A and B are shown apart, each in its own frame.
Chain A
Amino acid sequence: MNKFSSRVYQWMDERFHLSDAIDFMKKKYVPVHRHSVWYYFGGVSLFLFIIQVVTGILLLMYYKSGEDQAFESIHFIMSKVQFGWLIRSIHSWAANLFILAAMIHMFSVYFERAYRKPRELTWFTGMLMFFVGLTFGFSGYLLPWNELAYFATKVGTDIAGVIPIIGEPMLYFLRGGEDVTGATLSRFFGLHVAVLPAVFTVLLGVHLLFVQIQGMSTPLHMQHLEEHEIKKMPFFPNFVLRDLLLWLIVLNILAILAVYFPWELGRKADPFMPAPAGIKPEWYFLFMFQTLKYIPGHVLFIDGELFGILMFGLGGLLWTMVPIWDRKSAEGKRNKTVTYFGLLIVIFIITLTIVGWLV
């Protein structure tokens, strides 16, 4: 067998020069320091994305889009298809864990200033992927066509409609008409299973390519050290094996969550029923949802909802553009504004998420 595998390797190597890639990986090192643990969250997000692709394809075998069929088909998957409940539960849980892992990855990159020159484009592709990830969550949430999803989509798309000038055409475009109907479901389905995966895969490819070319970023406080003073571990096999071990742990956590806390289906959406008491969006939109509750009908001369959306838009833009406005970190200097802005956002998000959860 060993002989066979080495012959296969040789056969491939002659044609595709595999040894070059292996040499490259052997020469690649990952810095070791007290913040090294954060390096793993990009990999965890990648692993959860792979799980989403696999379980998503499996769900596609039975899912039917359409007002009269969507809810029923998920019910069918959960009650009649063997292990259907498990696949659906894993898909829902992994979606949430993906957002969580991507958030941890994003915050750690932010506070470590890993976005600084020369990694600006890695940050931008990452941020784009994060927004695509949120759109994945938002569009996937509607697909079971249940009560919560229906109102979440009404609110979410109406928020887009509030934006001046482009808002109304965008609302029509997103909903496939004036209201949230089966047309919206078809659009979201197409977006969720075709458009977003394609966009995400391209961005992911570019993001990973950048990481491979540039290697891992070292924290600012290590920048003055000489090359030989930095503790390192080889990317292959040391780092890769640690990565795989963590993936295994994540898979176990996912299995426990999916089995012991199966994702509920809720009640079928009915456009002629009032929004149920206690309605909430997914946890990662909760802070925005809660903030919108506190903003009064009018702020100065504009509608409160528009004011809220403008504020969120501005905050998101500032966050995304941090490699542009934070020049100090690129020069190896400490920039306290970045830390304070980051802490303000983290505290704001955590506080409003907890309040939204409890109220």
Chain B
Amino acid sequence: MVEHPARETQKDKRDFLKLILVGSSFAWLASIIYPVISYLKPPKQSEVVVKSVKAGKISDFANDSGTIIKFGSKPVLLIRNANGEFKAFSATCTHLDCTVQYRNDFGLIWCACHNGKYDLNGRNVSGPPPRPLEAFVVTLQGDDILIHKS
């Protein structure tokens, strides 16, 4: 069978128009979706980078206790153990982002959300946490307690 040349050209034209139509539809969709997705992406806000904070005076913290300290926008757990020594760790559980606490009855750091436990060196010892807590450096300046990023 011989193809009619005029019909062939018409088919080519139609295919070309289809391509233009589909292509421009996608371009049109993209021109709508792209700004919407970009709009929904929260802009990066420049936060003041906190390197150290003053947690308070030594006398503010009883032996065998833990306190959450604001470290910029993050919580840090400051622990004073039974011997009066200070240690600080990120208070954000490495499992699913809950805020941990010091439990003097366990002698451990505990996360109430999924029963994760860390020892007083921040090591994950029981439950679901996959990693140790990030440690912070505690220094004493006279009577003041300073917490630094390690």
Taking Cβ atoms with an 8 Å cutoff, the residues of A that contact B are 151, 154-155, 157-159, 162, 169, 172-173, 175-177, 179, 183, 271-279, 289, 292-298, 303-305
Contacts and interface: CB of A to CB of B under 8 A. Distances in A.
Given A274-B100, A277-B112, A293-B128, 14 more contacts: A151-B98, A159-B96, A172-B42, A176-B42, A177-B42, A271-B99, A272-B70, A274-B112, A275-B112, A276-B112, A278-B112, A297-B95, A297-B128, A298-B130
Nearest to B69: A272
A178 B113 CA distance: 20
Contacts of B111: 275
Chain B interface size range: 20 to 34
Contacts, number: 82
Nearest to B111: A275
B112 A292 contact: no
A120 to B, nearest CB: 28
A173 B99 contact: no
B75 A272 contact: yes
Contacts of B98: 151, 154-155, 275, 279
B96 A154 contact: yes
Contacts of A304: 128, 130
A173 B95 contact: no
A175 to B, nearest CB: 8
A297 to B, nearest CB: 4
B43 to A, nearest CB: 9
Contacts of A173: 40-42
10 contacts: A155-B98, A155-B113, A162-B96, A169-B41, A175-B42, A272-B70, A274-B99, A275-B101, A297-B95, A304-B128
A5 to B, nearest CB: 48
B91 A274 contact: yes
A273 B100 CA distance: 9
Nearest to A280: B113
Contact of B97 (A158, A273, A292, A298): A158
Interface string B109-130: 0011111000000001001111
B46 interface: no
Contacts of B129: 297
A297 B101 CA distance: 19
A353 B45 CA distance: 40
Contacts of B114: 289, 292-293
A292 B128 contact: yes
B59 to A, nearest CB: 21
B75 A271 contact: yes
A273 B98 CA distance: 10
A125 to B, nearest CB: 24
Contacts of B127: 293, 297
A306 to B, nearest CB: 9
A195 B143 CA distance: 54
A305 B112 contact: no
Given A155-B113, A172-B41, A289-B114, A295 B99 contact: no
A177 B45 CA distance: 9
B73 interface: yes
Given A274-B112, A275-B113, A158 B96 contact: yes
Contacts of A293: 114-115, 127-128
Interface in B44-91: 45, 68, 70, 73, 75, 77, 91
A273 B101 CA distance: 9
B99 A275 contact: yes
A177 B43 CA distance: 8
